[in-house]
Amino acid sequence: MKIFQCGNCGHPLFFENTFCENCNHTVGYNDIQLIMNTFDQSQDAQLYADRDNKHYRFCKNKEHDVCNWLIEAESPNDYCTACSLNRTIPNLSNKTNHEKWLKLETAKHRLIYQLQRFGLDIPSKMASDNGLCFDFLAKQEGVNVMTGHSNGVITILLSEADSVLREQMRREMSEPYRTLIGHFRHEVGHYFWDRLIATNPQTLERFRALFGDERMDYASAMQLYYDTGGNQQWSDYFISKYATSHPWEDWAESWAHYLHIMDVTETAYYFGLKVAPIKGFSGMEGHVRYDPYDTKDFNAVIEECIPLLFAANAINRSMGIPDVYPFVINQAVLSKMKFIHEILV
Ligand SMILES: [Zn+2]
Ligand SMILES: [Zn+2]
Ligand SMILES: [Zn+2]
């Protein structure tokens, strides 16, 4: 993600900030211009942006401290682009749910930022049949609720926002990595398969050449995956074992990893991160000199990103914490990611 900046004092801001740590001005995210707007609330009860002379108000979910996105003052909407996609939010009468919801919103807002960077149009399911919406649901006795996607509805189990339960699930599933942003990226991949692949016969043909034929029965493929523990030879052709279960899951996994790589590379670009190991380690140099969202050549993106991830993993190991990116991108996965890049950029 980009680095944002206070419009008053120039101090760097995180995407989630609601005020500048340095000058205390109110800040909010403007998703039309992809910038943070800065406001002097001691001067003005309304939010009057110092950069573009427009009046704004915060998304209604700012009342719950789960959103810092702005809406133009004259807009008829109460909720921002990201929050207007919520169909079901957690029951806030349960005190622990607010904390979980905040974690879900943080990941979801980052997802929407990224989809907007690709210029993807994200209509709300509540307004259009081919739109997208989110249900954040708690497990209920006797009801089979699962994290997943179905026809534009992304369900995320509230328990995934509990770090202890998530770690437990990660170990049970023998996964190297399990995060909320990972769930969002994976599930929205299914949504965009319906929108970008299924609707275009030529793209669908290219998809089948890379991922396999998705017309194989999904339910029996998943049953086979859970019965047999998946294809043990996955690491030469897939990004994860779960990706072997069905071409749709391979797509969603590859898509999620593609989004991981693009976000990491964008962050590295904005921070000017550079890896230049001492003599004798040739081929491990990485320096992202361009914004990956403006770069057609995905080879160039990956070549600069891999040494940075290797260095980041090494730093984490210095601190005794898990690798940032505990995966190896093989040639088959690279071809799948290039296909996605070609569609999106
Ligand atoms: Zn400031
Ligand atoms: Zn919002
Ligand atoms: Zn999936």
Q: Which ligand is nearest to the CA of 67?
A: 2
Indicate the domain borders of the chain.
Answer: 4-78, 81-199, 224-345
Residue 104 CA, ligand 3 centroid: distance in Å: 18
Residue 334 has pLDDT above 80, yes or no: yes
Residue 195 has pLDDT above 90, yes or no: yes
| Residue 227, amino acid | D
pLDDT of residue 44: 63
Residue 10 has pLDDT above 80, yes or no: yes
Task: Please give the biggest Cα pair distance in the chain.
Answer: 65
> Residue 45 — pLDDT band, cuts 50, 70, 90?
low
pTM: 0.96
Residue 197 CA, ligand 3 centroid: distance in Å: 15
Residue 258 CA, ligand 2 centroid: distance in Å: 26
Q: Which ligand is nearest to the CA of 255?
A: 3
Average pLDDT of the residues of the chain: 95
Mean pLDDT, rounded, for 37-64: 85
296-314 residues labelled b (16+ CB within 10 A) or e (exposed): eebeebbebbbbbbbbbee
For residues 30 and 22, the answer to whether their CB atoms sit within 8 Å is: no
HEC string of 137-180? Answer: ECCECCECCCCEEECCEEEEEHHHHCHHHHHHHHHHCCCCCCCH
Residue 83 has pLDDT above 70, yes or no: yes
Q: Of the candidates 330, 140, 197, 337, which has an alpha carbon nearest to the alpha carbon of residue 256?
A: 337
Residue 153 CA, ligand 2 centroid: distance in Å: 18
Q: Which ligand is nearest to the CA of 19?
A: 1
